Amino acid sequence: MATPALVRGLTAAPRTLGSPVGRRARCSGVPPGSPPAVGPPPRDPPEQARLRAREHKERRQRERRERAALGGAGPRAPTAPPKGWTPKTIVEYQHPLEPDGKKATGVPLPPAYSPRYVEAAWYSWWERQGLFTPPASVSGGGQVLSVVLPPPNVTGSLHLGHALTVALQDALVRWRRMQGWTVLWVPGTDHAGIATQAVVERWLWQRRGLRRQDLTRSEFLEEVWTWKQRHGDEILQQLRALGASLDWSRCAFTMDPGFSRAVAEAFARLHEAGLIHRDRRLVTWSCALRSALADVEVEPRALTGPTALRVPGCPQPVTFGVLVTFAYPVEGGDGLELPVATTRPETMLGDVAVAVHPSDPRYAHLHGRCLRHPFTGQLLPVVTDPTVEPARGTGAVKVTPGHSPPDLALARAHGLPLLSVIGDDGTMCPPGGGWLQGVHRFVAREKVVAALAERGLYRGTQDHAMTLPMCSRSGDVIEYLLKSQWFLRCREMAQRAQEAVTSGRLKLIPKFHEKNWKTWMDNVGDWCLSRQLWWGHRVPAYQVGVPSAGSLPEHPDGLWVVGRSEAEARAAAARTLRCPPDDLQLQQDPDVLDTWFSSALFPFAALGWPEKTPDLQRFYPTSVLETGSDLLFFWVARMVMLGQQLTGRLPFSQVLLHSLVRDTHGRKMSKSLGNVIDPRDVIAGASLQDLQERLHCKILDPHELTVATEGQRRQFPHGIPECGTDALRMALCSHNVHGDDIRLDVGTALSYRHFCNKIWNAVKFVLAALGPDFVPQAPEEMVPQHPMDRWVLSRLAQAVGECGRRMEALEVHGAIAAVHHFWLRSFCDVYLETAKPALRDPGSGAETRQTLLSCAELGLRLLAPFAPFLSEELWQRLPRTLPAPPTLCLAPFPDAARLAHWRCPEVEVEVAAMQEVVRAARALRDTFRLGAARPPVAVQCLVEAQDSLAALGPALQALAQAGPLRLLPSGVEPELGPAWVGAPVGPDTHVYLCLRGLVEPAAACTQLRARSRSLQRRLETLGGTQASGPPAPNQQQVAILRSELARLLQALDDLESTGPPEDPGVRGGDPRT
């Protein structure tokens, strides 16, 4: 008889990614042996409603993609809450604590996972036990992990980008601590000179109507320290909320007295080595901040043509990307002129010459002539220089040495005067002419062009592609101003830093950063250390005055001396001038040092340098640094250069650089966009009203506040759901930080909250299965006999090995993926479902219980570095062999070598084959909508596969929700009757289900036709019926729909050809009979 099977229809049936064999596992915690809940099969919703829901979903997805492409702009459509987000019951921990502060673990667990209950009290108990502080000494020279936390700005607030660093570092720290290493993780905060001063200045103006200049320096510094005391603890609270196992007894602040001594010592040593010197140069200057900036704080912005930008302090937008041409009249009265083109016409007031190429025939007749400045009347020489490019602009270059680095080099080569016409605040200053005194430089631009036109010297404007230097901190357009500043020569230190990477002594992870490292080190210039601020480490340099001697002609900028203290500087000046120290007047430089200078000392200054402290000798160099790739040159390179120069050793041997963190739409995190998320809002949840109230408490200008408020309303229309610390940490660690930019999404944290709930229910099931009288065996010592026990322990051993390998390679995302896959796919979705019937079997129940304990106990140890609160809460309740550590934080991390005896590749292959049968059987169940029914099942396979399938029969029945099982030999036509339908599993394996009494043929045919028509309409909507094929974005979805449609049509054909149902005649006893 012909095989009445769905063989052809299911051949191309797709396997849905991420759909495990046992996805119906509920981990309900119901004790084994309880009767299963019985109810009617789920009702099939009308196809029209499903079609409408699908169309609405596709429209929402399309609109979301369009809004993302516009950066969140465009009309706002009503949005539904995140998928899977329903309000959860919040359970608070309300039981008394034990005398040492530990939670009571003998009380019943809440019925459902509640982060607030789980995370209560554990962190304070860990701190009380001193778990985060390394022991004073270690016998036997044990291994040491020393790490410093990148110090965040003291007056700032952590966002999810910072939380990523914390989660990754804490996972590494907790992992090594569980491996028995001596671990030190040093916390700290940075004084953040420019950022902190800007925040306090804005606060003073908004709240008290005061400007910094209205106060003395000491009064302003008192305000900053008050602000720091008021807001500085916020970051520390955030770090504790994230579960960071930092040694708080060593918390450092870069303005602490000890750290300040280290900064002065470093400056003095570098000066004594001839690396720090004072010079008058052009510096990159932020007029908004009124301070010099380091080159790495300048962001180049490419403009392809005219672009209007808002500039701080300017009343209207300014258009950049245009080239203005005007003419200088030639002195001599013969009517000649020399045209020049510039993007900065306002700086022509500081011109000192015009340069042409010596071989340019257009201007050969003007060599040696002079030009008359139309506003100042000064004579400007025409000079020849081979660096001039005749093809650019007019071929004649205005020379403005006070505001252009190339012009400064040219002016010095030709002995031209240096002239500055733009002040520190960005307004015009003498000798630019009194008519522009105090006018904003970009307002002056328009006035200069208008005045040139009035004099008949304006020659036109044209579009011009250019790169505009922008201040990364204030958004201001950078000015180049002549200043006497302190500079650090970096070339020799950079060469040693490059050699460290080339030789392999310093490893940059991912490796592709080495190319950028080499490029930066090969082109590094002197580092300007001076900042014109009041908040920060004041430059330990003093200008010397000798009242009786007047000025010192051999020191035109005055005599400057450097000292760790004023007394040391006075003694040095006295030795230089050979006069009594008391005859000298010293004035300390009012500038402060670049914040990155003190930050670059953090790995060793936080451990007590320059003193030879026990911490410095024991924990320096540190082991590994984890930070954002955007800090590679701001911070990492400078730590390496100064660490080698000042201590003779690299500050660390490995650097893990995570990718740039962006929001869901790919935008950079910014307070002004409203997409900066406080980790505590993800941990505890926050309504939209709460988010917006906190936004109004921040120091933002009205325009930024409006944009940020709207941004929050778009991104979080329903607020942020409560996810908990563990879910947030796992979501952060799950991103591949070695690759492209990271898009952080609250939805990922929500999915990990569901994962936490899955673990919660799984362990509750284990506890119920073990019972109060269970006597545990050491998990690693178990020797399983039954195939599913051997399989799950083999999967656990494999997960332990994969997790260890990934952590060693600093691939935290791979480690957590291995842990996640074991818990969800192997333990919860498969093994627990097969364990339920096994627990009712007296012959296998004892081994199953021990296997459950081994999986739960070792699985929680495996999970602990990533989800410490949930792991500790559940681990404390498991029965353990004695002696046992008091906390999971000190329990040994699972060792793959000790679990090698669990590896059973042959059993894994057999179970994998059984799972393929289960998938095919469940696909048949889904096609015919069998609901909770358990139909008889038959498997036709090779004789050599029947032994393993027979042994795995109970597992197959549990996972496939099947009734009695028969095994049929391959190669012969099965005699099953017309009520059986089947599907292929592989070349030699088929699975069959009996539909007798479960499906009414006429109704089933009607249903299959309706579903087929619905799929056909969806295919037409996606272009799947076109001769040319579907559009590229729809191809994958069309392929899935076509396969599903083929499966339904084949089922319909087979069902229509099936005769009246017959008794399947399933025989009892051995399923192979």
Q: pLDDT tens digit string along 900-952?
A: 999 999 999 999 999 999 999 999 998 888 888 999 999 999 988 999 999 99
Q: Which residues share a beta bridge with 153?
A: 190
Helix (H, G, I), strand (E, B) or coil at 279: strand
Give residue 14's pLDDT band: very low, low, confident or very high (50, 70, 90).
Answer: very low
* Closest to 820 in 3D by CA, of 898, 727, 747: 727
Q: Give percent above pLDDT 70 in the chain.
A: 88
Res 472: pLDDT: 81
Ramachandran assignment for 377, one of left (phi > 0), alpha (psi -120 to 50 degrees), beta (any other): left
Res 970: pLDDT: 84
Q: Give percent above pLDDT 90 in the chain.
A: 63
The enclosing H or E element of 542 equals strand 541-545
Residue 50 has pLDDT above 70, yes or no: no
Res 224: pLDDT: 94
Q: Could you tell me whether strands 937-941 and 965-969 are parallel, antiparallel, or unpaired per DSSP bridges?
A: parallel
Burial letters for 118-150: b for 16+ Cβ neighbours within 10 Å, e otherwise?
A: bbbbbbebbbebebbebeeeeeeeeebbbbbbb
* Closest to 651 in 3D by CA, of 661, 660, 662, 642: 642
* Closest to 573 in 3D by CA, of 545, 595, 594: 545
Q: How far, in Å, CA of 87 to CA of 1023, rounded?
A: 39
Q: How many CA atoms lie within 13 A of 884 on its CB side?
A: 16
* Closest to 537 in 3D by CA, of 275, 267, 200: 267
Res 8: pLDDT: 25
Q: How far, in Å, CA of 856 to CA of 862, rounded?
A: 10
More confident residue, 1030 or 1070: 1030
Query: Angle at which helices 787-808 and 832-839 pack, to 10 degrees?
Result: 150
pTM recorded for the entire structure? 0.84
Q: How far, in Å, CA of 95 to CA of 256, rounded?
A: 40
Q: How far, in Å, CA of 692 to CA of 385, rounded?
A: 59
Res 672: pLDDT: 60
DSSP state of 825: I
Compute φ and ψ for 527, nearest 5 degrees: -100, 120
The neighbour count for residue 805, using CB atoms within 10 Å, is 14
More confident residue, 116 or 231: 116
Give mean pLDDT, residues 448-456.
Answer: 96
Give mean pLDDT, residues 157-185.
Answer: 95
Q: Could you tell me whether strands 298-303 and 466-471 are parallel, antiparallel, or unpaired per DSSP bridges?
A: antiparallel
Give residue 1048's pLDDT band: very low, low, confident or very high (50, 70, 90).
Answer: confident
CB 564 within 8 A of CB 540: yes
Peptide bond into 431 cis (omega under 30): yes
* SS percent in the chain: helix, strand, coil, step 5: 45, 15, 40
Residue 592 has pLDDT above 50, yes or no: yes
Q: How far, in Å, CA of 3 to CA of 973, rounded?
A: 7
Query: Angle at which helices 953-960 and 905-927 pack, to 10 degrees?
Result: 40
Q: pLDDT tens digit string along 658-697?
A: 988 887 777 777 666 667 889 999 999 999 888 888 887 7
Q: Could you tell me whether strands 530-531 and 307-309 are parallel, antiparallel, or unpaired per DSSP bridges?
A: unpaired
Res 61: pLDDT: 58
Give mean pLDDT, residues 837-858.
Answer: 92
Q: pLDDT tens digit string along 73-114?
A: 333 333 455 555 677 788 999 999 999 999 999 999 999 999
Residue 11 has pLDDT above 70, yes or no: no
Residue 1044 has pLDDT above 90, yes or no: no
**Longest pairwise C-alpha distance within the chain:** 123
Residue holding tokens 């044990």? 142
Give mean pLDDT, residues 294-316.
Answer: 88
Which residue type is seen at 323? Answer: L
Locate 111 and state its tokens. 């019925």
Radius of gyration of the chain, Cα coordinates, nearest whole angstrom: 37
* Closest to 644 in 3D by CA, of 858, 836, 498, 455: 498
CA angle 23, 28, 32 (to 5 degrees): 105
Give mean pLDDT, residues 1030-1039.
Answer: 77
Give residue 704's pLDDT band: very low, low, confident or very high (50, 70, 90).
Answer: confident
Helix (H, G, I), strand (E, B) or coil at 784: coil
Mean pLDDT across the chain, nearest whole number?
A: 86
Locate 221 and state its tokens. 């510094």
Q: How far, in Å, CA of 857 to CA of 880, rounded?
A: 9
CA dist 91 → 115, 119, 868 (Å): 8, 11, 19
